[in-house]
Structure formats: C-alpha cells, structure tokens
Structure 1
Amino acid sequence: MCGDPTEALPPRGRSLRILVVEDHADTLRVLARLLDHFGHEISVADGAQSALEIVESKEFDVVLSDIALPDGSGYEVIAQAKRKQPIKGVALTGFDKEEDIRRSKEAGFDFHLSKPVDFHELCMIL
C-alpha cells in the first residue's frame, strides 16, 4: 500500500497557480480541494470554452486538463494557454495508449497521466 497520497504533495511554500479543467464534477471538486489544501491557487473550469476564457484573463503555472471535454478538447486548452504564457501542461485522461500519449505531447502537454488519478505521480510532476 502506498499510504496517504497527501504525504507526497509539495510543501506549502511552493505555491503554484493551477487551472484544473475537468467535466466530471466530483473529480474536479476533489482535485481542486486537494491542491488548494496544499497551498496552491486553484481556478477551475468544467469545459474547454470556460477554460479558454479563464486562460485569457489569468496567469497560470500549470494547466491540469482532461482531454475529452463536452465542448472541445484539452488539446485546444493547452495550445491556447501555451500561446499566451509559458506554462506546464498536464493531461489527465482515460486515454492511455501510446498514440494518445504521443498526441498529447504534440498538442503541448508536458506530462500525460491516466485516470484514475495517482496523487503521488501528480505531486512528483508538480
């Protein structure tokens, strides 16, 4: 057993501005609460269009985004975010085949994590 997933999270002193983009409400809420608990400044979006609007109005260090969104894709979100600002992208998706990973990297994501979320892995990336 890997123990408490919160043990691997970064210390409170390392605060990041993170945009979490996820259309599944429970997943969005859990990710946002966990990251906020560890001192990160969190913005949330439940779709591509709202994420694109937020990216235009705020600066971020990291975009953590699902790929398949009801009104677009995480590929669009990370591409627009990277055009606007230097940012790290983390794809969080159910698509985990080699082709999916390649495509997410081509779109601009720096990391590709498969669902369900492995909090230890996410924390190591952050």
Structure 2
Amino acid sequence: QTLSRLLTHFGHQISVADNTQSALAIVQSQQFDVVLSDIGLPDGTGYDVISQVKRKQPIKAVAITGFGTDEDVRRGKQAGFDFHLVKPIDFHELRTVLDQVSA
C-alpha cells in the first residue's frame, strides 16, 4: 500500500494485483509502460508473471524482492526483469529506475 501511494504521488497511474492470475489478467487487459512485481506471490512467482507477459509484449519490468544475491539477480534477468530492487525499497532508487525505464 505504501508503494502504491508513493507511485501515485509521483504522478504514475497504477493498477494493483495481489496474485499471479490477477496480474496476468490486468496486464492483458490494459496498456502499461512498466510492470513492478514482487517475486513472492501467493499463487506463483513474479518470475512466472514476467516471463509470460514478455512472451506476448515488450514491456519493462522491475523485480521487487527481499533477496539480492547474484543468483537472485541472474534468475530475474533470465525471467525478463530489467531491474532488481531489494526490500526495503529505497524510494530514490525506485524513482531513478522508473525514470530510466520511461526514457
């Protein structure tokens, strides 16, 4: 919720999904510039979401996770994530990443 409010405050229009199935449905029914996804989801993973989304459309993707090892970053890149942010999110870093993906 904090992230949603912050993104809205930054001027972004957002949609929120709380699981893999709703995320896929939202991305298929709307147009987005970037997808931010937690890796751990109740019914799957952010890796699943992004790999499926990127098969259908080119879109920038940012992983949000509690894990930041080299292996985590590598796995994220393989799934299709363009950036990897580790929780707790540094909001200045998030803003920089969003500026980069929208440039």
TM-score by length of 2: 0.90
- From the CA coordinates, give the structure whose radius of gyration is larger: 1
**Where does residue 56 of structure 2 map in the other structure?**
84
2:29 counterpart of 1:57: yes
**Where does residue 33 of structure 1 map in the other structure?**
5
Distance 1:39 1:122 in 2: 14
AA aligned opposite 1:125: V
**Where does residue 96 of structure 1 map in the other structure?**
68
Distance 2:58 2:92 in 1: 25
Unaligned segments of structure 1, at least 5 residues: 1-28
**Where does residue 15 of structure 1 map in the other structure?**
none
2:27 counterpart of 1:47: no
* RMSD (CA atoms): 0.9
Structure with bigger helix share is 2
Q: Alpha-carbon deviation of 1:82? A: 1.4
Q: Alpha-carbon deviation of 1:61? A: 0.6
2:80 counterpart of 1:117: no
Distance 2:56 2:90 in 1: 29
SS in 1 for 2:15: strand
Unaligned segments of structure 2, at least 5 residues: 99-103
Q: Alpha-carbon deviation of 1:62? A: 0.6
Q: Percent identity?
A: 70
Q: Deviations over 1:28-74 (max 9, x none)?
A: x1111111112111000011111011111111111101101110100
Q: Alpha-carbon deviation of 1:83? A: 2.0
Q: Deviations over 1:74-109 (max 9, x none)?
A: 011111221222211000001111101100000000
Q: Is the 8 A contact 1:59 1:85 kept in 2?
A: no
